[in-house]
Chains A and B, each alone.
Chain A
Amino acid sequence: MFATDNIFKTICLICAGLVGLLMIGFFVQLALSSVGAWKEFGLSFLWSSEWDPVDEKFGALPSIIGTLLTTFIALVIALPLSFVSAFYLVDLPGAIGKILSQALDLLATIPSIIYGMWGLFILAPVMQTHVQPFMVDTLRLGKVPIVGRFLGEDYNGFGFFTAGLILALMILPYICAIMRDIFAMTPPMLRESAYGVGCTKWETAKDIVVRYGIRGLLGGVFIGLGRALGETMAVLFVIGNMTQMPSALFDSGTTIAATLANNFPEAAGIQQSVLFALGLILLIMSFGIQVFAQWYLNSTSAKRGEER
């Protein structure tokens, strides 16, 4: 009896340890392979916006900003949409609710390359011929003081805005599916009590359901965020692939993942090292977000009345 317990324990330990080892292994490998880049450019690699393969001068800032910008656009669009649709789906009775729920789960399983193809063949042309002309020429948003500064007046269907839109569509089903499941977990008694004391539907959502499931909700948001940060193909197809600092949302740009995918097969020498350094930065960014999420949830758990 003891013997089998010990064997089982050892197997479990090895399996669990492998996960940690892999994580550390990724960091070590990326750090070692990028030594050349850090030696050559120092920490200024992080805030240099130069990217000139001919002179072998490289900086990470355009890719970092591009990654953050597209992720930000995606979250701004996807969060409210998935919140309200999840809230609606939970209470939707009968067949329609079931069908929509299933559709949502199916949407989450579509491979990212399909989103990319759709973005390239459908979304980018539609943006170029309908959406952007409407925003810039019809609504004249480009001339509105602050908005215009952010949108820009030059457009061609590709760029940060389109990439953010594609990302929003990609992460929406993830966030929405998690939110739906979290909302469904709220004990019915709590909701009914809220209605019983005269809360409106909005008040019930805001004060009961969201409070109850905040941990899960944030978890969903961070899963979406993680996916948006590292998404490669769908973004690469529509972002325009220019390694330059963005001046407006309609500009072409690049993200860390897109820069890696574009240059890695042919890179050699210092450029390869630079790409590994970019990979390390991306890994640290995703890791940092996870750590921040855990820290935030722990530090605010007392305020929400959660048990430690």
Chain B
Amino acid sequence: MMKKYLTSIALSIVAAISTYGADITLNGAGASFPAPVYQLWTYAYTQITPDVKVNYQSLGSGAGINQIKAGTVDFGGTDNPLTPEEQSEANLVQFPMLTGGVVLIVNLPELKSTELKLDQKTLSDIFLGNIKVWNDPAIAALNPEVKLSKTKITVVHRSDSSGTSFIFTDYLSKISPEWKEKVGTGAAVKWPVGIGGQKNPGVCNNVAKIKGSIGYTEYTYAVEAKLKCVTLKNKDGKFVAPTPKTFSASAAGADWENAKGYYMVLTDTEGEDSWPITGITYILIQKDAPDKEKQQALYKYFNWCLTSGANSASKLNYVPLPKNLVEKIQNDVLK
């Protein structure tokens, strides 16, 4: 009896020490574009691995880059990829995590169940402020089945610096020389027209509130806010609706073998079903982290995200990376 008692005490002490020793907290911060998935992952991972705690703060891509550079977090999230030079300069390793779509959302009650169609020219002209009302002949010609009213167009964009804005302005720069010259590509740009909303939810909210508005956001936010998405003409001249299927079609043709430092932008890709504004979101980690135990826990976590976590990402309308790319990352980085 006494012996049993002692053993149980000894066992519980051992258990206490081992959990104490293995308690690791991994802190991450950055992009708000994949934040819904990251938050789901951190929760699910803590459930199955109680000794590792993962935190992710959705602060924006720029903040993620700044914080991982400063070393205040263990991993950073960004949609705005660092070039191979920038990576080696800051001694960081970058790899992709998820693919998602940036979609255009509109508040036009007269659309009812029909989709609004826009092509490259009308889209860039709307964001440049060249097209000011919805019944503009150029828009009407693309949408003969809808009777558009003379509602004023209100452009809604991000007021904060954002990786989503980077993906979107990168696309506009590719399809419109005028945009490229006047505005350019960036996480924050000099928007010619419109009003700014705070983060993805702020843009959705402003679009939901203002009649005649158009904005851009990550797909999941648009689905959650039940906002009407615009159908766009892609590089092959086909009109495509934003769905996980068209996002992955766009990602399918990417040449990862030759992408140094995983630097890749998936806007305006070829392919009949390709959604033109597809974005990849990246993870940044330090190349030679001093704490090896932490580094191993980090690798284990990302391995889990890329494999077991893929299913829950699909549920939130993101596209997990293709299998060969996951294997490449596992061999290159997470070993």
Quick check: B198 and A236 within 8 Å, CB to CB? yes
Q: How far is the CA of A243 from the CA of B157 in the complex (A)?
A: 12
B61 interfacial by beta-carbon distance below 8 Å: yes
User: Which chain A residue has the least Cβ–Cβ distance from B194?
Assistant: A242
* Contact status of A265 and B154, CB under 8 A, knowing A54-B183, A55-B184: no
Could you tell me the distance in whole angstroms from the C-beta of A39 to the nearest C-beta in chain B? Answer: 22
A60 interfacial by beta-carbon distance below 8 Å: no
Quick check: A243 and B190 within 8 Å, CB to CB? yes
Quick check: B60 and A265 within 8 Å, CB to CB? yes
B196 interfacial by beta-carbon distance below 8 Å: yes
B164 interfacial by beta-carbon distance below 8 Å: no
Which of these, B185, B187, B190, B195, contacts A252 with CB under 8 Å?
Answer: B195
Other than A154-B152, A156-B195, give 17 A-B pairs with Cβ distance below 8 A. A53-B187, A54-B188, A156-B210, A158-B195, A158-B210, A241-B195, A242-B196, A252-B194, A262-B159, A265-B60, A265-B160, A266-B59, A266-B60, A266-B62, A266-B160, A266-B162, A267-B161
Quick check: A240 and B186 within 8 Å, CB to CB? no
Among A120-128, A142-150, A189-197, the stretch that binds chain B is A120-128
Interface residues of A in 229-247 (CB under 8 A from B): 236-237, 240-243
Q: How far is the CA of A13 from the CA of B206 in the complex (A)?
A: 52
B222 interfacial by beta-carbon distance below 8 Å: no
Which of these, A51, A156, A236, A266, contacts B161 with CB under 8 Å?
Answer: A266
Quick check: A262 and B66 within 8 Å, CB to CB? no
Quick check: A242 and B189 within 8 Å, CB to CB? no
Quick check: B190 and A54 within 8 Å, CB to CB? yes
Q: How far is the CA of A55 from the CA of B60 in the complex (A)?
A: 21
CB-defined contacts of A158 to chain B, threshold 8 Å:
195, 206, 210
Interface residues of B in 207-243 (CB under 8 A from A): 209-211, 213
A52 interfacial by beta-carbon distance below 8 Å: yes
CB-defined contacts of A52 to chain B, threshold 8 Å:
189-190
CB-defined contacts of B190 to chain A, threshold 8 Å:
51-54, 243
Could you tell me the distance in whole angstroms from the C-beta of B257 to the nearest C-beta in chain A? Answer: 31
Interface size (A, Cβ < 8 Å)?
A: 29
Q: How far is the CA of A236 from the CA of B206 in the complex (A)?
A: 13
Q: How far is the CA of A51 from the CA of B190 in the complex (A)?
A: 7
What is the interface of chain A, defined by CB distance below 8 A to chain B? 51-55, 120-121, 124-125, 128-129, 154, 156-159, 236-237, 240-243, 252, 262-263, 265-268
Quick check: B59 and A265 within 8 Å, CB to CB? yes
CB-defined contacts of B152 to chain A, threshold 8 Å:
154, 156
CB-defined contacts of A121 to chain B, threshold 8 Å:
209
CB-defined contacts of B154 to chain A, threshold 8 Å:
156
Q: How far is the CA of A52 from the CA of B210 in the complex (A)?
A: 26
Q: How far is the CA of A120 from the CA of B60 in the complex (A)?
A: 22
CB-defined contacts of A154 to chain B, threshold 8 Å:
152
Quick check: B185 and A54 within 8 Å, CB to CB? yes
Quick check: A262 and B62 within 8 Å, CB to CB? no
Interface residues of B in 176-210 (CB under 8 A from A): 183-191, 194-198, 205-206, 209-210
16 contacts between A and B (CB under 8 A): A52-B189, A53-B190, A54-B188, A54-B190, A55-B184, A129-B211, A158-B210, A240-B195, A241-B195, A241-B198, A242-B191, A252-B195, A262-B159, A263-B188, A266-B161, A266-B162
Max count, chain B CB within 10 A of own CB: residue among A124, A129, A159, A262: A262
The 4 closest A-B pairs by CB, nearest first: A241-B196, A266-B62, A241-B159, A240-B195
Could you tell me the distance in whole angstroms from the C-beta of B73 to the nearest C-beta in chain A? Answer: 13
Which of these, A53, A124, A236, contacts B189 with CB under 8 Å?
Answer: A53
Q: How far is the CA of A120 from the CA of B198 in the complex (A)?
A: 12
Could you say which interface size class chain B belongs to?
A: 20 to 34
Which of these, B197, B205, B213, contacts A156 with CB under 8 Å?
Answer: B213
User: Which chain A residue has the least Cβ–Cβ distance from B159?
Assistant: A241
Quick check: B210 and A266 within 8 Å, CB to CB? no
B63 interfacial by beta-carbon distance below 8 Å: yes
User: Which chain B residue has the least Cβ–Cβ distance from A125?
Assistant: B209
CB-defined contacts of B188 to chain A, threshold 8 Å:
53-54, 263, 266
Q: How far is the CA of A267 from the CA of B187 in the complex (A)?
A: 11
Could you tell me the distance in whole angstroms from the C-beta of B116 to the nearest C-beta in chain A? Answer: 19
Quick check: A263 and B195 within 8 Å, CB to CB? no
Could you tell me the distance in whole angstroms from the C-beta of B225 to the nearest C-beta in chain A? Answer: 14
Quick check: B195 and A266 within 8 Å, CB to CB? no
Q: How far is the CA of A237 from the CA of B205 in the complex (A)?
A: 11
CB-defined contacts of A51 to chain B, threshold 8 Å:
190
Could you tell me the distance in whole angstroms from the C-beta of B258 to the nearest C-beta in chain A? Answer: 28
CB-defined contacts of A156 to chain B, threshold 8 Å:
152, 154, 195, 210, 213
Quick check: A128 and B205 within 8 Å, CB to CB? no
Provide the B151-176 mask, 1 if CB < 8 A to any CB of A, else 0.
01010000111100000000000000
Quick check: B161 and A53 within 8 Å, CB to CB? yes
CB-defined contacts of B185 to chain A, threshold 8 Å:
54
Which of these, B160, B183, B186, contacts A262 with CB under 8 Å?
Answer: B160
Provide the B60-83 mask, 1 if CB < 8 A to any CB of A, else 0.
111101100000000000000000
Quick check: B210 and A157 within 8 Å, CB to CB? yes
Which of these, B66, B186, B210, B213, contacts A54 with CB under 8 Å?
Answer: B186
Q: How far is the CA of A236 from the CA of B60 in the complex (A)?
A: 18
CB-defined contacts of A128 to chain B, threshold 8 Å:
209-211
Q: How far is the CA of A133 from the CA of B187 in the complex (A)?
A: 35
Q: How far is the CA of A243 from the CA of B152 in the complex (A)?
A: 21
Which of these, A125, A262, A266, A268, contacts B196 with CB under 8 Å?
Answer: A262
CB-defined contacts of B62 to chain A, threshold 8 Å:
265-268
Q: How far is the CA of A116 from the CA of B185 in the complex (A)?
A: 31
Quick check: A266 and B191 within 8 Å, CB to CB? no
Quick check: A266 and B209 within 8 Å, CB to CB? no
Could you tell me the distance in whole angstroms from the C-beta of B59 to the nearest C-beta in chain A? Answer: 6
Which of these, B183, B191, B209, contacts A157 with CB under 8 Å?
Answer: B209
